[in-house]
Amino acid sequence: MIINVHAGHSLKCRGASGLLDEVNEDRAVKNKVIELLRANGHTVYDCTDDNGKNQNSNLKAIVNKCNDHKVDLDVSIHLNAGGGTGTEVYVYSDNSKAKDEAERIVKNISNTLGIRNRGVKTTTKLYVLRKTNSPALLVECCFVDNATDKAKWNADKCAKAIVEGILNKSVNEHVETPTPKPQSNASSALGTYMITASDLSVRTGPGANCRRKTYEELTKNAKAHDYDKDGCLNYGTRVTVSEFNGDWAKIPSGWVARKYLKKV
């Protein structure tokens, strides 16, 4: 899926606050939602705006970002205020293509956090639901000014509930970051190296059996002062490695033993 996600309001035009602060919590939820969706292979655009100084400019900035991409779903994340308790999700109308996701999300949040399920509601008054081009839903995770909601609040669990509602399947809350296997050709290992040996010979290919290049061959396309008369690289010469092959490194003029190179 391709999904737009944003947290409501802006750092310069903050949302509701009480026992919880909406802007702090909606961003925590938003970040985790994006992390989990991406970990499950989906493309996500973060359409959060932090520059809007008033509600109008904030909403316009968010919707502009949303409508920059054609997506399967727009997800807006808020926290509620005004004395209620529980979670609710808004869609534009009963015909909204986001309604199934909305139903699952509100049920999941209610079950996960153990707060009241206020259900899916329709409204044509919310700017982000009215102005976004793709199916959209707006989550009011819980109430910032309710003691029960505050006691049960957990941004990560709420995010997982939202993601499972979107995807209609279970996901792991903790994203496993695979330990990168040591890879000799990892692009991070390539780059500029310094030669740490005197008279380091340059070969025609990887491996000690490859023929040693002559001074004439080496200096044809390279700086002569990098090589001695025997066709060896001098200590301190800087070379760019474009490939590794076992114990050998490919530099512009040929192959050299990797152990005599130091990354700079």
Q: How far is the CB of 25 from Zn ion (least distance, A)?
A: 10
One residue of 3, 4, 6, 15 binding Zn ion per CB under 5 A: 15
Q: Which residue lies nearer to Zn ion by CB, 8 or 165?
A: 8
Q: How far is the CB of 166 from Zn ion (least distance, A)?
A: 19
Q: Which residue lies nearer to Zn ion by CB, 76 or 237?
A: 76
Q: How far is the C-alpha of 213 from the C-alpha of 30, rounded, in Å?
A: 58
In this structure, which amino acid lies at residue 176? E
Binding map of Zn ion across residues 31-70, x = CB under 5 A, - = no contact: ----------------------------------------
Q: Which residue lies nearer to Zn ion by CB, 17 or 40?
A: 17
Q: How far is the CB of 86 from Zn ion (least distance, A)?
A: 15
Which of these ranges, 14-22, 153-161, 201-209, 247-255, lies near Zn ion under the rule CB under 5 A? Answer: 14-22
Give the contacts of 136 (CB within 8 A, at least 6 positions apart).
Answer: 66, 73, 74, 75, 76, 91, 92, 96, 98, 128, 129
Entry field: residues in the chain: 264
Residue 97 near residue 161 (C-beta atoms within 8 A) = no
Q: 3-class SS at 212?
A: strand
Q: Which residue lies nearer to Zn ion by CB, 15 or 52?
A: 15
Q: How far is the CB of 81 from Zn ion (least distance, A)?
A: 8
Containing H/E element for 6?
Answer: strand 2-7
DSSP string, 93-118: STT-TTHHHHHHHHHHHHHHHT--EE
78 binds Zn ion (CB under 5 A): yes
Q: CA end-to-end span of the chain, whole Å?
A: 41
Q: What is the dihedral of CA 91, 94, 100, 101, to 10 degrees?
A: 0
Q: Which residue lies nearer to Zn ion by CB, 10 or 108?
A: 10
One residue of 4, 6, 7, 8 binding Zn ion per CB under 5 A: 8
Q: How far is the CB of 243 from Zn ion (least distance, A)?
A: 52
Q: Which residue lies nearer to Zn ion by CB, 55 or 204?
A: 55
Instruction: Give the footprint of Zn ion on this chain (CB under 5 A).
Output: 8, 15, 78
